[in-house]
Structure 1
Amino acid sequence: MSLSDARVAPLENEPSTMENGEKNGDLSVSITSLERRRQEDQKKSEADEEDPWALVAPPHKGKYWREMTCSEKLQDVGIIFVRLILLFVLLYFFICSLNFLSDAFRLLGGKAAGKALSNNKILNNPISNLMMGILATVLLQSSSTTTSIVVTMVASSLLNVRQAIFIIMGANIGTSVTNTIVSVGQAGKRNEFRRAFAGATVHDMFNWLSVVCILPIEWLTGAFGSWKDCGLLCQLTHAMTKNLNSEKHSTKKELLKALTKPFTRLIIQLDKKIITKYAQNDNTTNSNLTLVKHVCKITVPQAVYVGNNTCRIEHVESMGRCHFLFENLARTWSDHALGVLLLVLALGILCLCLVLIVKLLHSLLRGKIATVLRRFINADFPGRFRHLTGYVAILIGAGFTMLVQSSSVFTSALTPLVGVGILHLDRMYPLTLGANIGTTFTAILAALASNRDVFQKTLQVALSHLFFNIFGILIWYPVPVMRNVPINLAKMLGNTTAKYRWFAFVYLFVVFLVIPGMVFGLSVAGTAVLAGVGLPIFFFFVAIAVINVLQKKKPNVLPAKLKNWEFLPRPLHSLQPYDDVFTRLCSVCKCCISDSDD
């Protein structure tokens, strides 16, 4: 029997000793209780390793609080305070890097996205509009920018409300690419990457599933409904806005950008109105016009004569040359070259901040702090109010997203917490749904600030975005069976990326670029081409999905040959052959190594 076992045994047999230990001065009892706590922490850690989706309880290292002297306690509090300050500083630069990433993609693809949105010939059916929304948002890295461009085009009668609704559905999908990119920063540790990637892609799964359900309804009700060319969302929002008049102009308040702009403006400044002009097909716009600002509003001191031979210095706004880091470089470099440089800088800052944030979270969230924080974030309401917890989480997610005015920033900040095991995937899901609601607040504010003559149309588009997300939540959240569908799909993707880490990059490339590009190309060719090529492919993959479910749930209903996929060549039913190729190609890269690493 070990020393710890010998001490634990009499403790269990003599509870009165435990109660009066301090009174009797029995030091061995105190040591035994601490040893038992360490053993419990070790057991929790082993349980977490068995279940990769469980909340992580890292074993406590060093002394417990009750074991420390007064000076050690003060030192520990000081270290925690310094780490918290560093954490907020890193979060600040992390958010700034997301802004740089958005600007880089605007430089690389902003003009192309604007020109594509201005071409009514390719926006001839809902599928092409949907894919254009995805591609434009991926290129612009901002669903708010895509939505504001669409609202402007509707106000200019370049798009009708029905077309705008389908583009906004695509923007809802495209906005989730940012937190999926952020999750790749935790690829160094397998289980962290599993949880982080699942936490990011649960947003993707909800958006895709909502589109699959709502787009056909909107399309069919518009094609065959009593109101021609206007579907369910279009009719609902028109009924809500037809009698409204804009009497006051609201101003757009920016909370988070007010904090980040002082730094980001020192690096790069872009004129986003150029993209809108391309989208509006403004013939006065020069095709070689750069997105980088060169002329800005500046404040200059000016002497003003006030009489009696005296002058007063006043600061007057005037137009002058912009001053930021890339201004001189932008005069000689093209937008694409500058975009590549800014993209490298943004990804470098993003990865560095993410790695340091994860390390700080690991060092902070240990012992009692981690336990209390995990319980608070993931706690449910007691008793009969337990089922309301998720709906309160939706409201919290919507509230925080309204404050920061960016669903990408909010969900990207939560992704590392899911990865390190503080926030459970089941709690991330309703927070993500709330972020989808909160991001529509920006478009509603923009609509309320529009001119009276276009107020009704712009508000109708903004409200269509809101009700699309509300209907999606009503489909995929209240019923537990439906709620588990996007969560289980995200877990499946998380397990796959944990085993084959290169799959994350393939997923990003295929889901956000290849599939939208191919479907968009087919839809541009015409509805007949899209139906003739796309529908057989769609039903083929639906059949594969159904067979996969039956193989797991009810294999007896399938023919003997279809009970597994072993009759097919291995590359058609396993990722292992591709993993062997990737491993040989990039064996030096740790994230490409397969099962053996941790």
Structure 2
Amino acid sequence: MSEYNEKSFPSKLLTWGAIAFLVYLVLVAVGTVSGGFKLASGGSEGAKEIFAFATNPFVALLLGALATALVQSSSTVTSVIVGLVAGGLPLQIAIPMIMGANIGTTITNTLVSIGHIRSKEEFQRAFAASTVHDFFNLFAVAIFLPLEIMFGLLEKFSASLAHLFIGDADLSIKSYNFVKPLVKPAVGIVKDGVSFLDGKAAGVAMVVIGIAMILFAVTTLGKLLKQALVGKAKDLLHGAIGRGPVAGISSGAVVTVMVQSSSTTTSLMIPLAGSGVFTTRQIYPFTLGANIGTTITALLAATSITGPAGEVALTVALVHVMFNVFAVGLIYGLPLLREIPIKCAEKLAEVGARNKTAAFGYVLGSFFVVPGIIMLAVR
């Protein structure tokens, strides 16, 4: 036993060291995307021109959903968006993209439910438990996107919070920001590495390198955290589901922060639903907690940016938080609205269990075909 412990301790130390390095790499990557986008676009006016096709908020929404469905990680997409906002991407484009990322991230657990397709009863339970996440996020966007377009509620509220945290005073938290000095030299190395290219080409290269770094770091970080914490996450999941909505939402958020992936958190639940251990109604609050927990990555990414750009980056990260918190409070808080995602998911699961082609059509159509066609048509 002692020999096992001697071997396991260095292994655990190495794992947590790798986790710390990957967190640092995410920060460096976001700084690289931000710096590269500034260089490539020539400032905020150039950024508006680059994303002129997405000035329609619905197109920006679809862009966020499609990008997230393709990479299967809202954490990756939101981290890239934070970097782009710091580089000049307008908030009016970024906010719908953030909402779209919430929709796109639900594909992973829906795909996991397909694994139960051989048994009609299991598949119906699993498909309902997975698509309740889809319908909740679609319903949240249907409520909050029009409000955002008309009144800018999330942007104004989040901007006020960001200003409160960063502010103009000498004693604001930016005076104590130790992240930028740690990140700046590494970003400088990337910039020097592409300096043989001309200005805009070097900027594009930095954006591409930064996105590749984010993809690698977030994916590997999720795997390492899952390896290090998934046992504890499962224990927490089993202990919380079925013990009321507050316990479910809280534990869903905590588990997602632990494993840095809402896809992992929600996917853990699907086999339990398929086997009949928990119902869709019991799993529902845990899913909502995962929505809130996944926002930690964008907040972490925003800490790598300082100055006016840092305040805007923090604003869009807080929009992600507030959107999910307000959606849970409104939709789950009101009994009439709370039932809508459950009923929609259960009805779709009935149809999908009877007709497997319809289930596959829903996944491909909702996440890839429809967003892709609309974006190509608008473009």
Match of 2:105 in 1: 175
Count of residue correspondences: 287
Shift in alpha-carbon separation, 1:241–1:204, aligned structure 2, 3 A: same
TM-score normalized by the length of structure 1: 0.45
Q: Of 398, 413, 424, which residue of structure 1 is paired with 2:268?
A: 413
Q: Which has the higher contact order (CA 8 A, sep 6+)?
A: 2
Q: Tell me the equivalent position of 2:161.
A: 240
Structure 1 residues 379, 215: CA separation in 2 closer, same or farther (over 3 Å shift)? closer
Aligned-pair CA distance for 1:513: 1.2
Aligned-residue offset at 1:496: 1.1
- Alignment partners' CA distance in 2, 1:390 and 1:117: 42
Alignment CA distance shift 1:156-1:192 (3 Å):
same
- Give the whole-Å Cα distance in 1 for the aligned partners of 2:93 and 2:350: 37
2:60 counterpart (122, 129, 141): 129
- Correspondence 1:3-402 to 2 at 5 A: 119-157=50-88, 159-221=89-151, 231-243=152-164, 244=166, 245=172, 246-249=174-177, 282-284=200-202, 285=204, 379-380=242-243, 389-402=244-257
Whether the aligned pair in 2 keeps the contact of 1:154 and 1:458 (CA below 8 Å) is yes
| Match in the other structure for 1:479 | 334
What is the distance in 2 between the residues matched to 1:421 and 1:161? 43
Kindly provide the CA deviation profile for residues 260-295 of structure 1, in whole angstroms up to 9, marking residues without a partner as x.
xxxxxxxxxxxxx99xx9xxx9523569x99999xx
Task: Call closer, same or farther: CA 1:220–1:406 in 2, change over 3 Å.
Answer: same
* SS of residue matched to 2:356: coil
* Matched residue type, 1:232: L
One-letter code of the match for 1:417?
L
Deviations 1:531-565 (A, max 9, x none): xxxxxxxxxxxxxxxxxxxxxxxxxxxxxxxxxxx
1:122-177 Cα deviation digits (max 9, x unpaired): 112101110110111112221111111111111111x1122111100001100011
Tell me what 2:282 maps to.
427
Q: Secondary structure at the match of 1:247?
A: helix
Alignment of 1:440-459 (within 5 A): 440-459=295-314
Instruction: Give the residue type in structure 1 aligned to 2:153.
Output: L
Change over 3 Å in CA distance of 1:206–1:405 after alignment to 2: same
CA shift, 1:481, in A, is: 2.0
Q: Secondary structure at the match of 2:53?
A: coil
CA contact (8 A) 1:174 1:512 kept: yes
What amino acid sits opposite 1:210 in the alignment?
A
Cα deviation digits, residues 438-476 of structure 1 (max 9, x gap)? 000111111123234422111100100111111211221
Partner of 2:318: 463
> As a proportion of its length, which structure holds more helix?
2
Question: Map of 1:488-507 to 2, 5 A cutoff?
Answer: 488-507=343-362
Distance in 2 (CA, whole Å) between partners of 1:250 and 1:191 is 54
The question of whether the paired residues in 1 share the 8 Å contact of 2:242 and 2:282 is answered with no
Report if aligned partners of 1:250, 1:449 keep a CA contact under 8 Å in 2: no
Decide whether the 8 Å contact of 2:241 with 2:286 is kept in 1.
no
What letter matches 2:78 in structure 1? Answer: T
Q: Is the 2:108–2:263 Cα contact (8 Å) retained in structure 1? A: yes
Q: CA deviation at 1:213?
A: 0.7
* Aligned residue type for 1:183: S
* Larger of the two Rg values belongs to structure: 1
Q: 1:286 to 1:241 in 2, by over 3 A?
A: closer
Indicate if the aligned counterparts of 2:61 and 2:99 stay in contact, CA closer than 8 A. yes
**C-alpha RMSD over aligned residues:** 3.0
Q: Contact 2:256–2:265 at 8 Å: present in 1 too? A: yes
Q: Which amino acid is 1:426 matched to?
A: R
Structure 1 unmatched ranges of 5 or more: 1-113, 222-230, 252-272, 294-372, 381-388, 525-598
- TM-aligned CA deviation for residue 216 of structure 1: 0.6
1:77-96, Cα deviation, whole Å (9 max, x unpaired): xxxxxxxxxxxxxxxxxxxx
SS of 2:175's equivalent in the other structure is: coil
C-alpha separation in 1, matches of 2:362 and 2:240 = 30
Does the CA-based 8 Å contact 2:240-2:251 persist in structure 1?
Answer: no
Preserved contact between residue 117 and residue 132 of structure 1 (Cα < 8 Å): no
Identical positions, percent: 38
Contact 1:154–1:164 (8 Å) recurs in 2: yes
**Contact 2:241 2:248 survives alignment (8 Å):** no
CA distance in 1, matches of 2:305, 2:120: 49
Whether the 8 Å CA contact 2:240–2:248 is kept in 1: the answer is: no
Contact 1:378–1:424 (CA<8 Å) still a contact in 2? no
| Structure-1 separation of matches of 2:209 and 2:176 | 35
Residue 179 to residue 117, structure 1, CA distance change in 2 (3 Å): farther
Higher fraction of strand:
1
**Other-structure match for 2:34:** none
CA distance in 2: counterparts of 1:238 and 1:286, whole angstroms: 30
How far apart are residue 520 of structure 1 and its match?
2.4
The whole-number CA distance in structure 2 between the counterparts of 1:417 and 1:249 is: 43
Partner SS state of residue 201, structure 2:
coil
Q: Does structure 1 retain, via aligned residues, the 8 Å contact 2:113–2:127?
A: yes
Alpha-carbon spacing, 1:128–1:405, altered in 2? closer, same or farther (3 Å): same
